[in-house]
């Protein structure tokens, strides 16, 4: 809301979308996750635990958003990242 969006929460408990946000540029469909990390085998630095979108979420264009509960920092996943590599 601080960024000028109207925010609409999901009407159901179990849904492929947590929030619909709308501004003058259009609507975005969001699935919100807590920013959590783990140290993967063979590594020393903690990495974000990424979730994968379901077929329905992909078809709808749902974006995954990770929120750090302590800093309130928000990270929006670039779902096209791997498609643009190579």
Report pLDDT for 29. Answer: 94
Going residue by residue through the chain (86 aa), what tens digit of pLDDT does each one get?
A: 888 999 999 888 788 999 999 999 999 999 988 877 667 777 777 666 677 889 999 999 999 988 888 887 888 877 665 454 44
> What pLDDT, on the 0 to 100 scale, is given for residue 82?
44
Q: Are 19 and 27 in contact (CB under 8 A)?
A: no
pLDDT value at position 47?
Answer: 66
Sequence-distant (≥ 6) Cβ neighbours of residue 57 within 8 angstroms: 16, 17, 31
Question: How many other CB atoms sit within 10 Å of the CB of residue 28?
Answer: 17
Residue 56 is predicted with a pLDDT of 93
């Amino acid at each position: 809301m601080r960024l000028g969006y109207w925010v609409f929460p999901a009407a159901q408990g179990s849904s492929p979308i947590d929030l619909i946000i709308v501004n003058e540029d259009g609507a975005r469909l969001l699935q919100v996750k807590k920013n959590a990390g783990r140290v993967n085998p063979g590594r020393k630095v903690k990495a974000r635990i990424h979730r994968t979108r379901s077929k329905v979420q992909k078809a709808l264009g749902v974006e995954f958003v990770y929120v750090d509960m302590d800093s309130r920092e928000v990270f929006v996943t670039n779902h096209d990242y791997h498609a643009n590599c190579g």
